[in-house]
Amino acid sequence: MNALIIFALLIVLMLSGMPISIALGLTVLTFLFTMTDVPVQAVALKLFTGIEKFEIMAIPFFILAGNFLTHGGVARRMITFATSMVGHWHGGLALSGVMACALFAAVSGSSPATVVAIGSILLPAMIKQGYPKSFGAGVITTSGALGILIPPSIVMVMYSVSTNTSVGKLFVAGVIPGLLLAFFLGLTTWVLARRKDYPRMPRSTWLQRWQAFRESIWGLLLILVVMGGIYSGIFTPTEAAAMSAVYAFVIAVFVYRDLRLVQIGKVLLDSASMSAMLLYIITNAVLFSFLMTSEGIPQAMAGWIMDKGLGQISFLLVVNLLLLLAGNVMEPSSIVLIMAPILFPVAVALGVDPVHFGIIMVVNMEIGMCHPPVGLNLYVASGITKMGISELTVAVLPWLFTMLGFLLLITYVPQLSLWLPRLLFGG
């Protein structure tokens, strides 16, 4: 009964359009004032202690690192490199779009920024070569979402915070699914391009490839700083994030010279306000899950599902549908923070591996970014291509189906996510 009231209140407040953090907080306050005798004082304390964990601090550092490198110059280098590698195949420019999106998204950490950066450079070039506008828009919109699966990923840090799963393992687990999804998106592009006979680019020489690689490697090394640092045990994940922020600063200012020193203040301010927004959702989500736990809701749900005899397979299917539905209305971080504490205990009770469950959630978030009606990537893409949402919806369909197929693959073949972390970390 209480569970119903809590959820109904939360959903009504959210649908009224107020910020998600406020809706969460007001739900908790209303419930505490009217229905329980948990001391309200505890709320104020939770507001502080909710984010008083060193692990959470990886989020602002990763955002800062990403913002230093979210620059047109970096995007151009990634595109040049990608084109020199895959441009000579069928649909050359579109394929380099997939690859450049994967690289830029991993480094910048923001899907919408990737769509804008890669899209506004690559789409005009594609149209000039004779590609239909919708083809280019479909490729960039969907590939832009690759970033949250390829480490470092902020959504993964969110998941690890709300379920106490190791960030390092999650990052490593995302590598193979990330590369695989990039491969599948590329394959879809290649098959379509071959059938329609879209233009190819002249093959680059190895010298050109080497030069393009040398230009883009500085940005890509960021991934290595994070992964290498965490895996070898030199840094904790949060330290790795801070080091990557300093590294990104040095690269952007002294190596690439994209940023002038006067612009640093702006980057700091933007990163701070973006992090503060996320940390504010985290604090209120912690309050909310504190309320849920004190009402015993996740446990009750786990018990109910076990009673129904719902197996792993059908549970994961329900989870996927639920997350895709949520992906329609909210952005990834909020979904993970609200849903993970509720679904995680059930998943664990049914024997799903915590890391695997995290990867399933992240892939769902990725699809949510680009499926209609309100995927954020769709909106951004509609801005740069001046195409309507319904027109874009048709344009992304081939890649969207590829992603849905990929989701099923990831859900029911746990080895894809678990093989690499098991190999590296044991267990």
Partner 1 sequence: MKFLDHLEEWFIAFLMAAATLIIFVAVIHRYASGLPIPVVQDFLLRLNTSWAQELTIYLFVWMAKFGAAYGVRTGIHVGVDVLINRLNTPLKKKFILFGLLAGASFTGIIAALGADFVYELSGTSSTSEVLELPIWIVYLAIPLGSCLMCFRFLQVSWNFARGGELPVHDHAHVEGLVEDAAEGRQ
User: Which 45-104 residues touch partner 1, going by CB under 8 A?
Assistant: 45, 47-48, 51-54, 57, 60-61, 64, 70-73, 75
* Contact range with partner 1 by CB under 8 A, out of 181-189, 190-198, 239-247, 302-310: 239-247
The CA angle 212-214-215, to the nearest 5 degrees, is 65
What is the spatial distance between Cα 23 and Cα 330, in angstroms, rounded to a whole number? Answer: 13
- When asked if residue 322 is in the footprint of partner 1 (CB under 8 A), the reply is no
- When asked if residue 113 is in the footprint of partner 1 (CB under 8 A), the reply is yes
Ramachandran category for residue 309: left, alpha or beta (phi over 0 → left; psi -120 to 50 → alpha): left
- When asked if residue 242 is in the footprint of partner 1 (CB under 8 A), the reply is yes
Considering the complex, what minimum distance in angstroms separates the CB of residue 303 from partner 1? 30
Given the complex with partner 1, which of 82 and 416 has the nearer CB atom? Answer: 82
* Side-chain-facing half-sphere of 197: CA atoms under 13 Å: 0
What is the spatial distance between Cα 254 and Cα 315, in angstroms, rounded to a whole number? Answer: 51
Applying CB under 8 A, among 155, 182, 330, 342 the residue interacting with partner 1 is 330
Considering the complex, what minimum distance in angstroms separates the CB of residue 328 from partner 1? 7
- Smallest CA-to-CA distance from 36 within 294, 297, 284, 342 is with 294
| Torsion over CA: 393, 395, 396, 397 (sign) | positive
What is the spatial distance between Cα 127 and Cα 88, in angstroms, rounded to a whole number? Answer: 17
Restricting to residues 162-201, which ones interact with partner 1 according to CB under 8 A? none
* Contact range with partner 1 by CB under 8 A, out of 43-51, 173-181, 197-205, 400-408: 43-51
- When asked if residue 115 is in the footprint of partner 1 (CB under 8 A), the reply is yes
- When asked if residue 239 is in the footprint of partner 1 (CB under 8 A), the reply is yes
Given the complex with partner 1, which of 346 and 369 has the nearer CB atom? Answer: 369
Applying CB under 8 A, among 79, 106, 116, 387 the residue interacting with partner 1 is 116
Task: Name the amino acid, one letter, at 404.
Answer: L
Do 15 and 30 contact (CB within 8 A), yes or no? no
Task: Name the amino acid, one letter, at 352.
Answer: V
Considering the complex, what minimum distance in angstroms separates the CB of residue 194 from partner 1? 29
* Contact range with partner 1 by CB under 8 A, out of 207-215, 346-354, 376-384, 390-398: 376-384
Do 382 and 138 contact (CB within 8 A), yes or no? no
Given the complex with partner 1, which of 108 and 402 has the nearer CB atom? Answer: 108
Do 407 and 364 contact (CB within 8 A), yes or no? yes
- When asked if residue 18 is in the footprint of partner 1 (CB under 8 A), the reply is yes
Applying CB under 8 A, among 3, 26, 253, 389 the residue interacting with partner 1 is 26
The CA angle 323-415-350, to the nearest 5 degrees, is 55
Do 157 and 55 contact (CB within 8 A), yes or no? yes
Residue located via tokens 């601090």? 57
- When asked if residue 40 is in the footprint of partner 1 (CB under 8 A), the reply is yes
Given the complex with partner 1, which of 77 and 169 has the nearer CB atom? Answer: 77
- When asked if residue 373 is in the footprint of partner 1 (CB under 8 A), the reply is yes
* Side-chain-facing half-sphere of 114: CA atoms under 13 Å: 32
Question: Site for partner 1 (CB under 8 A): how many residues?
Answer: 78
- When asked if residue 121 is in the footprint of partner 1 (CB under 8 A), the reply is yes
Do 201 and 177 contact (CB within 8 A), yes or no? no
Restricting to residues 243-282, which ones interact with partner 1 according to CB under 8 A? 243, 245-246, 258-259, 263, 265, 268-269, 271-277, 279-280
The DSSP output letter for 426 is: -
Considering the complex, what minimum distance in angstroms separates the CB of residue 265 from partner 1? 6
Applying CB under 8 A, among 15, 35, 306, 321 the residue interacting with partner 1 is 15
What is the spatial distance between Cα 30 and Cα 399, in angstroms, rounded to a whole number? Answer: 43
